[in-house]
């Protein structure tokens, strides 16, 4: 049985949470819909503030395609990307961004910096938010509740 992309991203998020990382997962789909890369957050493990799931998956997909641009590719992520990740999504030329939970505090797409609406945005992908939102939000809420 083949998992749908958001389920794969949610599994990456669960795995990240189990490792003590903020539970965010991402999957990059190629132009034909095949999975090119998937990742969960690794900021703590890598001692790298930029090791967000989106960044790791985008970099791996670019290596897989042998191109710095991911034209025709889609990104599925469990949380609204932050401004850093949104800028990378624009630079990588992602065709479509689908995300789960909205992030009113740290988001950079529908909240905060709204990177794709900025005059200097290099590329504006199609954005679909709220995909399996409750599930994605519950993972984050559960993770942060254990820290309190």
Identify the active-site residue in 54, 80, 117, 126.
54
Which residue pairs from 20-25 have beta carbons closer than 8 angstroms and sit at least 24 positions apart in sequence? 20/44, 21/45, 22/140, 22/143, 23/78, 23/139, 23/140, 23/143, 24/52, 24/53, 24/54, 24/77, 24/78, 24/79, 24/140, 25/53, 25/77, 25/78
Give catalytic status of residue 126 as yes or no: no
Could you list the active site residues? 54
């Amino acid at each position: 049985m083949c998992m749908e992309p958001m389920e794969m991203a949610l599994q990456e998020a669960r795995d990240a949470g189990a490792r003590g990382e903020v539970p965010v997962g991402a999957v990059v789909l190629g132009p034909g819909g095949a999975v090119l890369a998937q990742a969960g957050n690794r900021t703590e493990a890598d001692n790298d503030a930029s090791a967000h799931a989106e960044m790791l998956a985008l970099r791996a997909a670019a290596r897989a395609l042998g191109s710095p641009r991911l034209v025709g590719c889609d990104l599925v992520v469990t949380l609204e990307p932050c401004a850093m990740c949104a800028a990378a999504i624009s630079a990588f030329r992602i065709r479509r961004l689908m995300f789960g939970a909205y992030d009113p505090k740290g988001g950079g797409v529908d909240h905060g910096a709204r990177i794709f609406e900025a005059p200097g945005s290099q590329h504006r992908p199609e954005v679909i938010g709220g995909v399996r939102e409750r599930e994605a939000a519950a993972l984050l809420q559960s993770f942060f509740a254990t820290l309190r």
